[in-house]
Structure 1
Amino acid sequence: MLKRLFVFLALAMVWATTASASTVAVSTANVNLRAGPATSYPVVTVVPQGARIVTHGCVADYRWCDVAFGIYRGWVSASYIQVIYKGGPVVLSSAVAPAVGVTVVTYGRVYWDTYYVAQPWYRSWTTYYRPYAPVAAPRVTSHSRSATCVDGNCTGTRQATGIYGGSTSQTRNCAGGECSATRQTVGPYGNSASRVRSCSAGDRSCNMTRTGPRGGTATGTRSFSR
């Protein structure tokens, strides 16, 4: 199926014209074509998997796109749209869209009046319409965590990478009434900072050392009681 989609997309790109400001694509699954950029809008029709569609633009966060399928016009989630990018088929995203000619468009009453006058729900515009609010991009692009305990010795690790390339990792270990935690953070430009903390049940205290990106350090000790 993937090979077939790739071949079809490659041919479809030849059919598309730059004058139309549109991009030929393929649907990756059976997906509802809706009357607006949200699942709350009525379904116009169902676009079958592998069908040729023409993308006329997407809302600002590129999560929903205005597409044409045969005689129908409506909105499909971008996660079901596949285009050719750098010689291969990829799912449409905010990173890919500008490179393949998909622009940002808006949605409103004019669109509804243009394409849905004959629909039974046409006069229910006020029931369905909600101003589109783009969803903020996630600040974390990847993360992981793990924990193991063997004979009373427990170790936990966490890692995360941010949208601009920075990352942070942390390791915690506890055994025999002693616990330690080390956190290392690297910014998108390579600057780093760290924190090391250790706590002891024996003397009921915790020690902490922080190191900044320019090498400066700060230390502290805190006692606790049960």
Structure 2
Amino acid sequence: MLTKSEESRGVAAERVALALQEEILAGRLAPGSRLGEVALAERFEVSRGPVRSALNQLADAGIVTIVPNSGARVREMGREDARALYEVRAALEAEAARLAAGQADARSGETLTQLLGQHAQEVSSHPQGAYLQGPGDRDFHIVIARLSGNPLILRYLTRELYPQLSLLRVKHRNVTGRGQAALLEHRRIAEAIACGDGEVAALLMRRHIRASWEALEAQLAAPSEESEA
């Protein structure tokens, strides 16, 4: 059983972790930025213990790197790290799509249709831009992960892979025309899920992730450009 002091430290660590994650994923803390424990403790008005715990949480999520005797920094993700991330993403999301199709009903089909209708309006407002989705239930991939009914897939995607993907999006957010292409790919995946065709849904999801990776990889060689991931 946690003491009040331990519980208070845990709450403080969670508050610091959430605030830092938001700043990192919004691009306000750039890759490579140093995250000093003393400075953060003063800023958040907590002791160094909760700060250290928060940084460890962010390191577990893959968006902070902690080097012994050097400290913590916002993670700088290279091409090979990004490639490995997308390979795992393709495997998990393809399986999520297959499982979602196996459990599809009229309600899940309506959910995806309504969601993509909202996305279509947003994409049409900047037709040559990226496909920027909102968090949680406004993210097509998270919705499918939930529809899969597999809590482990949902956990790995939302707690580990997606934060790292967001870290990539901070730097690569605007491939010309990618938004419209991604929306069309999403619609085809949704149709397969609604029809209960798991194999096709999985295949289309893999193709979608591959197209996303190819668009991102082309931008990794141009640091000044941004891409939709």
| TM-score interval, normalised by the smaller of the two chains | under 0.3
The structure, 1 or 2, with the larger RCO (C-alpha pairs under 8 Å, 6+ apart) is: 2
Higher helix share: 2
Higher strand share: 1
- Tell me the TM-score normalized by structure 1: 0.20
- Tell me the TM-score normalized by structure 2: 0.20
